Structure 1
């Protein structure tokens, strides 16, 4: 699920996270068909990258949001495939409790400038602007750090 730091703070406070508009990304049959080859791990990583890009859209919509992409990986069964939107898109039917979260992925502090720039041009990139796409690439060059769900309070404290 694409997320923001504010959404992670809500997750810590409430014990559950709700994907915006119910939209998440997963290893779907359509995603598997889109790639000629690739292990499940590689295809899950492709879905994670799609979610990280969607996180930029959430950051761009937040007022005074923290410029770090966040993705919450969860083991969820009840999803609706949305191949009409993109190969990896699924719709969740409700909030996801902390007990179903497998990992949390967040940008390191060094990515903040690139993420800020990318969030400012995400819409232009979606419309085909090559310079904006290049700016997105700068943000996507930063790998997301991996955190176990039980590390969430410590992660948020250190931000």
Structure 2
């Protein structure tokens, strides 16, 4: 089962350093439907906005990590929509090796993401699609460009 974990760039750096993903909030599709997975990913992106609001020093880019977990490690906590559930991860964290990919806003989205993080009623983030990254690309995202 694919589980979508909200994060931020500083938290992603910690994941890469520590080898584990803390999972206080996570989302999953209640079906194998691609549209439901897309909804679960964007539910995690909304939670990422709340994480950004709590960390004003974090770059204004939503981060959603995707983990592939066995069903028995995931417990439904509440229903977000007909096809999306908030889940609890057994053990509370996920080993890095279980990560499948990441979805992150482009740098150009930062002004709109900043607006959305400070104003929960804002639709500024809605115009931006998250970009897909393979795991081996993630360290390069965190390295400042010259």
Q: TM-score, normalised by structure 1?
A: 0.79
The structure that is strand-richer by fraction is 2
Report if aligned partners of 1:18, 1:95 keep a CA contact under 8 Å in 2.
yes
Answer with 1 or 2: which has the greater Rg. 1
Partner of 2:19: 15
Select 1:109's aligned residue among 104, 107, 110: 107
The structure that is helix-richer by fraction is 1
Select 2:116's aligned residue among 95, 115, 118: 118
Write the distance in 2 (CA, Å) between the matches of 1:69 and 1:147: 13
Aligned length: 136
Partner of 2:26: 24
Report if aligned partners of 2:79, 2:85 keep a CA contact under 8 Å in 1.
no
How far apart are 1:154 and its partner, in Å?
1.1
Partner of 1:147: 133
How far apart are 1:85 and its partner, in Å?
6.1
SS at match of 2:69: coil
Q: CA RMSD in A?
A: 1.7
User: Structure 2 unaligned runs (5+)?
Assistant: none
Select 2:75's aligned residue among 65, 80, 99: 80
How far apart are 1:63 and its partner, in Å?
3.3
How far apart are 1:83 and its partner, in Å?
2.2
Write the distance in 1 (CA, Å) between the matches of 2:33 and 2:45: 18
How far apart are 1:158 and its partner, in Å?
4.6
User: Structure 1 unaligned runs (5+)?
Assistant: 33-38, 123-131
Q: Which range is displaced more, 1-10 or 86-95?
A: 86-95
SS at match of 1:63: coil
Q: Which range is displaced more, 61-70 or 77-86?
A: 77-86
Select 2:86's aligned residue among 89, 106, 112: 89
Partner of 1:49: 42
Partner of 2:10: 6
Partner of 2:52: 59
